Chain A
Amino acid sequence: MKSKVKKVLVIGSGPIVIGQAAEFDYSGTQACNALREEGIEVVLVNSNPATIQTDKEIADKIYIEPLTVEVLEKIIAREKPEGILATVGGQTALNLASELHEQGILDKYGVKFLGTDAVAIKRAEAREEFNNIMRSIGIPILPGVTVNNFEDAHSFAEKIHYPVIVRPSFTLGGSGSGVAKDKEELRQILDLALRLSATHEALIEKSVSGWGEFEYEVIRDSFGNSAIICTMENIDPMGIHTGESIVVAPVQTLSDNDHQKLRSAALKIVEAIGVQGSCNVQYAVNQSTGDFTVIEVNPRLSRSSALASKATGYPIARVATKIALGQKLHEIKNSITGTSAAFEPALDYCVVKIPRWPFDKFPQSDRHIGTQMKSTGEVMAIGRTFEEALQKAMRSLEVKIPKFIPEEQLNPATDLRLFAILELFRKGVTIQHIHEMTKINLWFLQKIFNIIKLEKKIFSQPLNREIIREAKRAGFSDKQIGLLKNIDEKELRILRKSYGIIPTYKIVDSCAGEFDAITPYYYSTYETENEAKPLEGRKVIVLGSGPIRIGQGIEFDYCCSHASFALRELGINSIVINNNPETVSTDFDSSDRLYFEPLTSEDVLNIIENEQGGVIGIGTFEGVIVQFGGQTSINLAPKLHDYGVKILGTQLDGIDIAEDRERFRDLLHKLGIPQPANGTAINEAQALAVANKITYPVVVRPSYVIAGRGMQIVYDDQEMKQYIEEAVDLSEQRPVLIDKYIDNAYECEVDAISDGKDLFLGGLMEHIEFAGVHSGDANIVLPSLHLDEGTKNTLIDYTDKIARSLDNIGMINLQYVVKNNVVYVLEANPRASRTVPFVSKAIGIPLAKIATKVLLGHKLKEFDLTNRQNNFAVKSVVFPFLKLVGSDIRLGPEMRSTGETMGIGSTFEMAYYKALLAAGVKIKPVKSGTVTALLSLREEDKVYLDSLSALLRSLDIEIYGTPGTATLVKGAKSVPKIGKGDKTNLDVLETIKSGGISLVINTPRKGGKPNTDGFRIRRACIEKGIPCITNVQTAFELLKAMVELKKKELEVKDIAEYWK
């Protein structure tokens, strides 16, 4: 029995990166709640401000600080926690805790590991040890060996025969892993793998591509009681990372004997490892022989456990936390049914998860999916049949399927494989053929084929009640059926309802109906009984933001969760609709009622109609909140409005003015507010005319964009022609927008709330980079650094005027450019922006909550809106470049980042340094012990060379330069251009690759192509893990921060201490 702890340190997972997304805010938040229920004081550390867990309602002390060992030691020294919970913050937290343990820091301060301890973690993660344990308990493993050099790897691969899979130890999302078919591929993959491994080790294993892949989510307490919470089957067989696979729960193709073998093995494995909490066990199963082998185990909360929680309704993080405190599994309550947590959830539905990939943002990147993660998020859907769940999941993705050649997506697979299979079935390709190409189990292929079979039936037969009902039960949307019959969606909806075909809602209750459930967690299906009786009393629907993708991340889920919390505070029933299994908003206790549904107008309308309770009417449905779920929810506004649904806050007309360039231009013109010169064009000739009129450079983009998709800075006619050619497909009937690009100007943005009368300016932020970098990718400081009072007043004045003109109620975000004291408006977004959580945390005011209350009629003057900021706050970002092979890291008007960090400090430099540190910028000395920086600047930036090199010298950083740059800097060492070096005088690429450089400052020329030297330098940095700064302002501020850091110690404080 563990002694009772009173204070616990919980480590979060930091910024959202590929392989580590919102699921850890979800599990961390649940864990904090579970701890505080027991009267335990919670100290939370996470550098990601867009998290619910960093709210003051969730933890007692909140450290929004970089997740490094140094910072954690400072926090431990200050807070003296008795225990540390490291299993709810992903691989990041686990690695940090292991390091704290190994460096003796935990012992030094007497901090106990709660839950699965360091020894068990090592058993699970260090392959050699893991394999030994598996052998000792008779669990089959793949032949494999841990290596730290190429020779050993190759000789082993020869022995067991290629192909082999290379997997670095202690990494997340399969980073650096890959399947090597021969010696050369092995050399390449291993090089990266060893560098990425925390221990400079990688595992070489026999590749079992094509075998079935299964996951068992296990929970075990410290007394040895254990249960399987969820079983999952990957539709994509081995060879594709589970995070990249379409996954179904529960397993579908295993007999009871198969299943029980894997189940018993999973229990045996967690026992042998000594898991105390949650654990994920992955298997490969050869389904033609029944042989299986364990692939790996994750002794912590994971993406899979978040999915398992949402798929079953079982709160794994909560139970794992109680176990970490020494409680017995059967003494913990299942909060859903009131029965014990010691049971295995029984599902009476089918769950499908589909990953969401960012390739729309990275057109240059390789679309193949494989052993490492490239997806940023996922959707989940629930149905009573597989077809229904799959189709609901597909429409939850919100993707526009690009043109593609189906055969080319099958093997090796791309993100389009599912769509390709559907397309091939349409063309008459056989199930057997697809099976041979993909190794996807015939059961799944048959089910996917059923969709096409039904599609053909709908197409060829007259519409009647039976066919519509059959289609709905197989998950077809009204829109899909309408398209097949050439009938408008709206008309089909009327027809369907006239047949009495309306969805029923069923509860996710963890027990297949065996016990009465109190959870308000529903999904739709077309059955007999509707369990979702309309809620009594006042109620409001909050539309969620769907899957995490670039441009629409966890920030919006944070806002939606806050909206739900605020409604509850007002005594109004909050109803959340969302389809993202990773998030806090889809936790069943985040709202009064959760509908786990696609975010399409049909699905949302169905829910609204259900809640309205028919003609009699039950409860008071007050409207829908669309302003927190990013583009997903705001895009639904027109259709909902069309059906007469009440939108709370800014009305459709205001939204439309802000989105429609013409109307917005007219508005600004009327208000006398400057805007960069602009125009629209629907063809090449028009575009060239507009651009020449407003003069290059110009920013071009399709209308109605999300996070700068298809946006580009264009410098001349040639580039314009090329853009128009490539972007036509993106814009279709919608015109291309052309704006004058105002360079060397400050970009600012504002998050504000208006109540129709007053305006509350949450924050006036300044971008560190000059205008031209997407606001989602920019480093942002609050308060602004360079704006004088006059300019600030102008910004406030403009914000107020625009908000009034849009009749804005609730959140509004405005983006400005300031040059030569002129303030230009870039855009207005009458909704919550991604900076809302950042600003809320910086100023100590929960903007989204207040905005929600304003939407419900409250006035700003009712709230205490004292800005508590007493410091500088900087938001920095992280990028997925490493995972996306072939992508360039240069920044531009297209958003590329996946996540954000926050640094807070008494000076700007301190705050900025911490934000970058949190984002993983680490400047390490090279072998000789000195720190070196390589400068390679474009022509127009060379004016900064003197001041940059002065700063570098003051930091004792040795300066290297490409020949052009080096001649301009006194004392700089010249490095030959790519291909111009030799054995003794390595060229610049080789110098970076051989580890001779600590930091690269490379500012790319306009319009850089993938094959330029600059591109290769930047890619080499990414692969070598060397900070590469591509923007002069960023470089200056970083170096200045480093100068400051030489004088000062890193500040580490509870967020409340930063506030006044």
Chain B
Amino acid sequence: MMINKKAVLVLQDGTILYGRGFGASTTKVGELVFNTSMTGYQEAITDPSYGGQILLMTYPLIGNYGINKKNKWDSNYSWYESSKVQVEGFAIRELSDVTCHVESNSDISKFLEESGVPGISDIDTRYLVRHIRNHGVMPAVLAVYEETIDTKKLLDELKFNYSSIDFVEKVTTKKPLIFGEKNKQTVVLMDYGVKMNIVRELEARGLRVVVLPSFSKFEDIEKYEPKGIVLSNGPGDPAILTDAHKTIKQLITKDYPLMGICLGHQLLAHAFGGKTYKMKFGHRGGNHPVLNKSTGKISITTQNHGFAADEKSLPKDVEITHVNVNDNTIEGMKHRSKDVFSVQYHPESCPGPRDSKYLFDQFVKILK
């Protein structure tokens, strides 16, 4: 049941919103970002790509269908995208006071509380979205408290530089995880903050998936004799992950078939010698149109990124295969002569549209 917890959200520019608190009574700092998906909050808050971020849902009614803890994060069907809540904080307009779903066995407030994550509701989330749209994403502090709080102190202590922090090392697995039987073709999935549905999609295609920590060296990877490599999604600024750039470059040189997703795509751009840049407020949601330049068709995609690859920085042997119809940013690329391709968006969906699963089939076809 809901106790009368209070909450406050303080943005770096001094914007302050008071609301109702839920989840854990604690104070957390993160980059405030918004997601426009109308369903899939459990998938979102357990998505490691949100590491270091306070997630705001633009849809105002959240928690309607509860939380599903019955199906574990590493099972074939689950609402989890990792083993735990990954966001630093959760900001919404209204938390549902009832959950109505047959698969649900918990609610958001409990779920966040167990994970030590604060939540704020009953605030004008649309106002914040417009604020971020105009001023860009920015650090914020979310505090859930029971009596009073000193917001000035919160603001003073708000020292946070998202781009300087290596969030990947915080979210990646510490030791290899293996899914699928030995007799199957092996692929290595580099875990920069992997969403479990990537594993599920690969497994469903008859593959044995070896999930390796982000810090794994080329030699560690080679050991598994993979038929191909998947570079996962993940949080943070891709530019600072220089070790990963190097490892991926080696993989390319050795002609490993390679598929990059989201952060994996950005890391690939760096490995190609290109650059990435921070977007004003990124793409987060399940409704962005992406044009596949070779077929001329569009897909509605799941997106979750705050950085993008810079087209001009990419070498000639890289071809842009997909673009965002709205702002023409790069959504996919491939190497002209090698079996290496990547997409900025999320073919594994969860949450979001399942229109782009064909990319996993494409990956299976290039395995050696």
Which chain A residues have a beta carbon within 8 Å of chain B's beta carbons?
223-225, 227-228, 231, 250-257, 259-260, 263-264, 267, 287-290, 328-330, 339-340, 342-350, 384-386, 441-443, 446-447, 450, 504, 506, 511-516, 527-529, 531
Contacts and interface: CB of A to CB of B under 8 A. Distances in A.
B38 A250 contact: yes
A340 B354 CA distance: 20
Given A348-B126, A385-B94, A514-B129, 17 more contacts: A224-B297, A250-B59, A253-B100, A253-B101, A254-B65, A328-B296, A330-B325, A339-B325, A339-B327, A346-B36, A347-B38, A348-B129, A349-B60, A512-B58, A513-B58, A514-B58, A529-B130
Nearest to A264: B354
10 contacts: A259-B39, A264-B355, A346-B37, A346-B58, A346-B285, A347-B59, A348-B60, A384-B126, A512-B58, A529-B124
B300 interface: yes
B353 A343 contact: no
A338 to B, nearest CB: 9
A450 B94 CA distance: 13
Nearest to B123: A528
- Interface-central residue, B60, B79, B96, B97, by most chain A CB under 10 Å: B60
Nearest to A289: B102
Interface in B281-310: 285-289, 291, 296-298, 300
A513 B126 contact: yes
A514 B285 contact: yes
Contact of A257 (B79, B124, B300): B79
Interface stretch (B23-31, B241-249, B344-352): B344-352
Interface in B38-75: 38-40, 42-43, 58-61, 64-65, 68
Given A342-B289, A343-B289, A346-B38, A527 B296 contact: no
B17 interface: yes
Of all A-B residue pairs in the complex, the 10 with the closest CB atoms, nearest first, are A256-B40, A528-B124, A529-B127, A512-B58, A443-B100, A513-B129, A346-B36, A344-B287, A446-B98, A342-B289
B103 A255 contact: yes
B287 A346 contact: yes
Contacts of A287: 100-102
B352 A528 contact: no
A346 B65 contact: no
Contacts of B297: 223-225
Contacts of A342: 289, 298, 300, 325
A557 to B, nearest CB: 29
A384 B60 contact: yes
Contacts of B291: 330
Nearest to B58: A512
Contacts of A225: 297-298
A762 to B, nearest CB: 46
B326 interface: yes
B133 interface: yes
B357 to A, nearest CB: 9
A255 B125 CA distance: 22
B195 interface: no
Contacts of B79: 255-257
B351 A256 contact: yes
A1040 B93 CA distance: 67
Contacts of A442: 98, 100
Interface of B: 17, 34, 36-40, 42-43, 58-61, 64-65, 68, 77, 79, 93-94, 96-104, 123-127, 129-130, 133, 285-289, 291, 296-298, 300, 325-327, 349-355
Contacts of A506: 126
A350 B60 contact: yes
Contact of B353 (A260, A348, A443): A260
A506 B126 CA distance: 9
Interface residues of chain A: helix, strand, loop or mixed (majority): loop
A801 B17 CA distance: 62
Contacts of B37: 256, 346
Contact of A343 (B34, B97, B287, B351): B287
Nearest to B66: A255
Contact of A386 (B42, B61, B129, B287): B61
B286 A344 contact: yes
Nearest to A259: B39
A513 B133 contact: yes
B98 A256 contact: no
A56 to B, nearest CB: 37
Contact of B326 (A267, A340, A345, A513): A340
A290 B102 contact: yes
Nearest to B285: A346
A252 B61 contact: yes
- Interface-central residue, A225, A256, A342, by most chain B CB under 10 Å: A256
Contacts of B64: 252-253, 443
Given A330-B289, A342-B289, A442-B100, A255 B325 contact: no
Contact of A340 (B42, B43, B325): B325
Contacts of B94: 384-385
A339 B298 CA distance: 14
B58 A348 contact: yes
Contacts of B130: 513, 529, 531
B126 A512 contact: yes
A263 B299 CA distance: 13
Given A346-B38, A348-B58, A260 B288 contact: no
A345 B287 CA distance: 7
B289 A514 contact: no
Contacts of A386: 61
Nearest to B284: A514
A344 B37 CA distance: 10
Contacts of A288: 102
A942 to B, nearest CB: 65
Contacts of B36: 346, 348, 511-512, 514
A348 B100 contact: no
B280 to A, nearest CB: 11
B58 A350 contact: no
Contacts of B34: 513-514
A222 to B, nearest CB: 12
A544 to B, nearest CB: 25
A329 B289 CA distance: 10
Given A257-B79, A343-B288, A441-B100, A329 B354 contact: no
